[in-house]
Chains A and B, each alone.
Chain A
């Protein structure tokens, strides 16, 4: 049932019947456009993954649709189609979770661990609109669950060590399955010190420490009804952000959900899943370890979300339907307290997120029509109501300094519509799609108050009067596959109107000491983003396989100025060897020089780079214990480099040896 392969850019249909009940579908199954990165069960993963105990961030960046903005070793911010958090949607099993840091130091991917997850489903553009409004696309991180496949106990122990940063990893998983009951638990702990770059320089404040525990338990009754509870507790402490002026003393999340799943025995409804969830995040920035700060400040943030979704999948003749009603309530508060040098002075306090409440409700409908056994046509649409309210009187009055007529609440309607055609015959496939979607401004864009961006050195002020940002997108894909060859090219083009960016206001004086000025969030007429990627695979023999990736991106605003964080030409190539219990891979990854950078947003020209990685793995059984070993070298030539998405050009890791060991019982 689980796939332990890394599928990149495939038209691929994941079986969605989780309950062990075979349901014969006598209609033709339509194709769905998505990309799945398998994170998977610990033991088996060793065969396929260069570094099985890599962070979730390292897994995600294998996708040609995803780039990661890096502010340190920890908590990278995923971008989909070169679009950052505001324009994308990251969910955990369909649940909305919102980071509590005004400086995006805690993307929600930082609150899960690879041990929690089975796979990440990446969808481009409006294909990803099922769980919420998005422009760039979505990543849904799916929880690990045993289901009812292998009865009995299943335990494993994972350990890892990396020489550069002295990262120590230890994890365990204990799963127990009965006929109508299962419980999965896992634990993972990571502790890393500062890493060293390719010139042998220690990158100060790049340490982190985190632990994560999670449990999922399901109980099936009546054979076709399942109740499942899930909980993740994640706590990171002493996290350094070398690219930022502050570190994090605490990033803590509790993510809980209760799901009810029903598979009607004889009905047009194939599967009906309803989930309620709650998550709470506490995030505390910390500058006490920095040698000199112009002023000491505390910047805690909190984000609480309640939500639910109810999603039904059905089949009627050749129509495959999905209906998803989802809603969430989020409360985001962040404050800043500054301690004057003269301790007799009163503390300086402000809300940087003025207790913003968001209530979002959407209905998503999809009809995937299998036209014949080769082609399918998919329509999806959603309509959402997005309501914001500023609950803090102090926060509201702060913003009213800038917007005297601002009301405490604002309502927005967010539509989305998309259509896709796909065709597949004799190994040849192609598809194209057209879509339109809108998003509301993020809490920072709408209501942020003097949020310092250490990239362009401006303080940012939110703008509650922003219009919805909307995107018109077109996508095409062409693929060809034989026994030995697999090639896939896909491209997306986004025309984004009311593109939200910060614009300097010369009349304003920054709050942050040393800042260059103040930018007010405003909207450009439009911006365009284009991405094209090529994925190739060639199976030389049963033992050898070659993989290649090439990604081209382009992003300009309406005045032909470059957009920030647009990837230069990016490539990856690997040669995999697998013979029985032995695996090995040699891989090269690199970027061309970033020539299309944006000085306006603080970017400079990033030189090209290429690094070489190598790993070997061996699996063996010892009595009843299965053991998987994986060891390798990353950045073999100790190259000094930083990429276009490294915040303030902080250098990446130099040479790193790693060892991952897993025992399965």
Chain B
């Protein structure tokens, strides 16, 4: 127990390392969108946001927010995996969540983001087209498993891979319908990092990604013996250990049908 009553706690910069990539406005508020490194791209995106009251120019501290990203295709619309939007800290002004864009925009198809929020019981909404270019390396893969379920698997971390053992985070979701993509629980994502340019060299002591808490992302260990281009070959296993998609790497099978790519 401490009896210290000093209130001069250093304020944590909740936006440390993040950059603003977009502002969306309606008549009452402006929402600023932030992200680690540049803007959104195909794959897993961790997004932070702040709501500014246009009249007071103050940031709103207690809002309840939900969002809905939608892909507008020629024949249909669909959404993608996403998390709820939550406050980073009770006293802070920043809200965050993730969205996994399983596909990129193109000349005729685009994503927009609808944000619904309530402040002191009053409901508001705003929608804007967002820019989701294709990622240079494959960070997300969509496939139909042997159980005929459509899955989305996305690479989350490390953002900055290093030579050595990296803590690896991935996400596994399934398509329930066009608008709902819940997290899949208790599966396993096997990883086999390879360097195709180096005779498909692999690394030892990788740990397959598993989930500790239902609803969470999956954690594993990724060993990288050198810098360069790595293809992380994947296999998705369900709770009973059946391979739903992906192949074991052998001399005859140099790559799996599902994989991520990193280069550093």
- Interface positions of B from 192 to 206, Cβ below 8 Å from A: 195, 197-205
B223 at interface, CB cutoff 8 A = yes
Q: Once bound together, how far apart are the Cα atoms of A347 and B228, in whole Å?
A: 5
Q: Which of chain A's residues have a CB closer than 8 A to the CB of B264?
A: 346
With A340-B229, A348-B198 known as contacts, the answer to whether A397 contacts B163 (CB < 8 A) is yes
A338 at interface, CB cutoff 8 A = yes
A514 at interface, CB cutoff 8 A = yes
Q: Once bound together, how far apart are the Cα atoms of A336 and B201, in whole Å?
A: 15
Write out, one digit per residue, whether chain B residues 235-264 have a CB within 8 A of any chain A CB (1) or not (0).
000000000000000000000000000011
Q: Once bound together, how far apart are the Cα atoms of A397 and B167, in whole Å?
A: 13
Tell me the nearest residue of chain B to A507, going by C-beta. Answer: B204
Tell me the nearest residue of chain B to A509, going by C-beta. Answer: B202
A346 near B201: Cβ-Cβ < 8 Å:
no
Tell me the nearest residue of chain A to B205, going by C-beta. Answer: A401
Q: Which of chain B's residues have a CB closer than 8 A to the CB of A341?
A: 197
A316 at interface, CB cutoff 8 A = no
- Interface positions of B from 109 to 150, Cβ below 8 Å from A: none
Q: Which of chain B's residues have a CB closer than 8 A to the CB of A310?
A: none
* Partner pick for B229 among A345, A510, A513, CB 8 A cutoff: A345
B263 near A345: Cβ-Cβ < 8 Å:
yes
- Interface positions of A from 380 to 436, Cβ below 8 Å from B: 394, 396-398, 400-402, 404
B162 at interface, CB cutoff 8 A = yes
B197 near A295: Cβ-Cβ < 8 Å:
yes
Q: Once bound together, how far apart are the Cα atoms of A349 and B225, in whole Å?
A: 9
Q: Which of chain A's residues have a CB closer than 8 A to the CB of B199?
A: 294-295, 510, 512-514
Tell me the nearest residue of chain B to A350, going by C-beta. Answer: B226
Q: Which of chain A's residues have a CB closer than 8 A to the CB of B165?
A: 397, 400-401, 404
Q: Max chain B CB contacts within 10 Å: which of A350, A401, A507, A513?
A: A401
Q: Once bound together, how far apart are the Cα atoms of A147 and B246, in whole Å?
A: 76
B227 at interface, CB cutoff 8 A = yes
Q: Which of chain B's residues have a CB closer than 8 A to the CB of A509?
A: 200-204
Q: Give the shortest distance, in Å, between A497 (CB) and chain B (any CB).
A: 28
Q: Give the shortest distance, in Å, between B40 (CB) and chain A (any CB).
A: 24
A523 at interface, CB cutoff 8 A = no
Q: Give the shortest distance, in Å, between B205 (CB) and chain A (any CB).
A: 6
Tell me the nearest residue of chain B to A401, going by C-beta. Answer: B223
With A295-B198, A341-B197 known as contacts, the answer to whether A401 contacts B204 (CB < 8 A) is yes
Tell me the nearest residue of chain B to A515, going by C-beta. Answer: B199
Q: Give the shortest distance, in Å, between A390 (CB) and chain B (any CB).
A: 12
B204 near A338: Cβ-Cβ < 8 Å:
no
Tell me the nearest residue of chain A to B228, going by C-beta. Answer: A348
Write out, one digit per residue, whether chain B residues 161-173 have a CB within 8 A of any chain A CB (1) or not (0).
0111100000000
A199 at interface, CB cutoff 8 A = no
A397 near B162: Cβ-Cβ < 8 Å:
yes
Q: Give the shortest distance, in Å, between A405 (CB) and chain B (any CB).
A: 12
Write out, one digit per residue, whether chain A residues 494-533 have a CB within 8 A of any chain B CB (1) or not (0).
0000000000000111111110000000000000000000
With A397-B164, A398-B225, A401-B165 known as contacts, the answer to whether A508 contacts B198 (CB < 8 A) is no
Give the bracket for the number of chain A residues in contact with chain B.
20 to 34
Secondary structure of the A contact surface, majority rule? loop
Q: Which of chain B's residues have a CB closer than 8 A to the CB of A400?
A: 164-165
Q: Which of chain A's residues have a CB closer than 8 A to the CB of B195?
A: 348
Tell me the nearest residue of chain A to B230, going by C-beta. Answer: A348
B163 near A394: Cβ-Cβ < 8 Å:
yes
Q: Give the shortest distance, in Å, between B16 (CB) and chain A (any CB).
A: 23
Q: Give the shortest distance, in Å, between B248 (CB) and chain A (any CB).
A: 13
Q: Give the shortest distance, in Å, between A70 (CB) and chain B (any CB).
A: 29
- Interface positions of B from 148 to 181, Cβ below 8 Å from A: 162-165
B197 near A401: Cβ-Cβ < 8 Å:
no
Tell me the nearest residue of chain B to A459, going by C-beta. Answer: B201
With A402-B204, A510-B201 known as contacts, the answer to whether A338 contacts B164 (CB < 8 A) is no
Q: Give the shortest distance, in Å, between A619 (CB) and chain B (any CB).
A: 59
B263 near A346: Cβ-Cβ < 8 Å:
yes
A394 near B162: Cβ-Cβ < 8 Å:
yes
Q: Which of chain B's residues have a CB closer than 8 A to the CB of A336?
A: 226
Tell me the nearest residue of chain B to A461, going by C-beta. Answer: B204
Q: Give the shortest distance, in Å, between B261 (CB) and chain A (any CB).
A: 11
With A345-B263, A346-B264 known as contacts, the answer to whether A401 contacts B198 (CB < 8 A) is no
Q: Once bound together, how far apart are the Cα atoms of A188 and B131, in whole Å?
A: 69
B229 near A508: Cβ-Cβ < 8 Å:
no
With A394-B163, A508-B204 known as contacts, the answer to whether A346 contacts B227 (CB < 8 A) is yes
* Partner pick for B163 among A342, A347, A350, A514, CB 8 A cutoff: A350
Q: Which of chain A's residues have a CB closer than 8 A to the CB of B197?
A: 295, 338, 340-342, 345, 348
Q: Once bound together, how far apart are the Cα atoms of A64 and B192, in whole Å?
A: 52
With A509-B201, A510-B201 known as contacts, the answer to whether A346 contacts B229 (CB < 8 A) is yes
A401 near B162: Cβ-Cβ < 8 Å:
no
A340 near B205: Cβ-Cβ < 8 Å:
no
Q: Once bound together, how far apart are the Cα atoms of A314 and B197, in whole Å?
A: 63
A565 at interface, CB cutoff 8 A = no
Q: Give the shortest distance, in Å, between A576 (CB) and chain B (any CB).
A: 55
- Interface positions of A from 207 to 253, Cβ below 8 Å from B: none
Q: Which of chain B's residues have a CB closer than 8 A to the CB of A340?
A: 197-198, 228-229
Tell me the nearest residue of chain A to B264, going by C-beta. Answer: A346
B198 near A511: Cβ-Cβ < 8 Å:
yes
Tell me the nearest residue of chain A to B195, going by C-beta. Answer: A348
Tell me the nearest residue of chain B to A399, going by C-beta. Answer: B164
Q: Give the shortest distance, in Å, between A398 (CB) and chain B (any CB).
A: 5
Q: Once bound together, how far apart are the Cα atoms of A514 and B251, in whole Å?
A: 12
Tell me the nearest residue of chain A to B162, going by C-beta. Answer: A397
Q: Which of chain A's residues have a CB closer than 8 A to the CB of B204?
A: 401-402, 507-509
Q: Once bound together, how far apart are the Cα atoms of A271 and B89, in whole Å?
A: 76
With A348-B195, A348-B198 known as contacts, the answer to whether A401 contacts B164 (CB < 8 A) is yes
With A340-B197, A348-B198 known as contacts, the answer to whether A404 contacts B225 (CB < 8 A) is no
A59 at interface, CB cutoff 8 A = no
With A394-B164, A400-B164, A401-B164 known as contacts, the answer to whether A347 contacts B227 (CB < 8 A) is yes
Q: Once bound together, how far apart are the Cα atoms of A450 and B84, in whole Å?
A: 46
Q: Which of chain A's residues have a CB closer than 8 A to the CB of B205?
A: 401-402, 404
With A346-B263, A348-B198 known as contacts, the answer to whether A338 contacts B163 (CB < 8 A) is no
B164 near A348: Cβ-Cβ < 8 Å:
no
Q: Which of chain B's residues have a CB closer than 8 A to the CB of A394?
A: 162-164
Q: Which of chain A's residues have a CB closer than 8 A to the CB of B201?
A: 509-511
With A398-B164, A511-B201 known as contacts, the answer to whether A350 contacts B225 (CB < 8 A) is yes
Q: Which of chain A's residues have a CB closer than 8 A to the CB of B228?
A: 338, 340, 345-349
Q: Which of chain B's residues have a CB closer than 8 A to the CB of A507?
A: 204
Write out, one digit per residue, whether chain A residues 322-355 have a CB within 8 A of any chain B CB (1) or not (0).
0000000000000010101110011111100000
Q: Once bound together, how far apart are the Cα atoms of A447 and B199, in whole Å?
A: 24
Q: Once bound together, how far apart are the Cα atoms of A294 and B195, in whole Å?
A: 14
Q: Which of chain B's residues have a CB closer than 8 A to the CB of A450?
A: 225
Tell me the nearest residue of chain B to A514, going by C-beta. Answer: B199
A401 near B203: Cβ-Cβ < 8 Å:
yes
- Name the 10 nearest CB pairs between A and B, nearest first: A397-B164, A348-B228, A513-B199, A340-B197, A350-B226, A509-B202, A349-B227, A401-B223, A345-B229, A511-B201
27 contacts between A and B (CB under 8 A): A294-B199, A295-B197, A295-B198, A338-B198, A340-B198, A340-B229, A341-B197, A345-B228, A348-B226, A349-B226, A350-B163, A350-B227, A394-B162, A394-B163, A394-B164, A396-B164, A397-B164, A397-B165, A401-B164, A401-B204, A401-B205, A404-B165, A509-B200, A509-B204, A512-B199, A513-B199, A514-B199
List 14 other contacts, CB 8 Å, given A348-B195, A349-B163, A397-B165. A338-B228, A346-B227, A346-B229, A349-B226, A349-B228, A394-B163, A397-B163, A398-B163, A401-B205, A404-B165, A509-B201, A509-B204, A511-B198, A511-B201
Q: Which residues of B come within 8 Å of A, CB atoms?
A: 162-165, 195, 197-205, 223-229, 263-264
